[in-house]
Amino acid sequence: VGEIYHVEVKVFLGGLSVEDVMVEAYCGRLDPSNQYIDRFTQIMNPSESVEDHVHHYRCDVRFKEAGHFGLNIRITPNHPNPESRHVMGLVIWGQE
């Protein structure tokens, strides 16, 4: 409880810039069927360009209670109105 987890991900942006997207760690406690409950997001910051069109993002996540937790990566358009990022239907979820 309270331990900090360092989250790192490589994202292929193609022709997009780091300013065009918002990369978030999507975290939360999981119910018995592995559905998120009590979820929260942490914005990930670009740290370096790894190779052509691939960017490295990082953040720290702290879980405030014990339990069964999940974490995924969510990428959305970087729009000034947060509600518009999800309405556009352009959400990409992390894949292994």
**Each residue's pLDDT tens digit, 23-78:** 999 999 999 999 998 899 999 999 877 788 899 999 999 988 888 899 999 998 88
pTM of the predicted model as reported, rounded to 2 decimal places: 0.82
* Cα distance between the two ends of the chain: 26
- Give ∠ CA 56-59-64 in degrees, rounded to 5: 155
Contact 71, 26 (CB under 8 A): yes
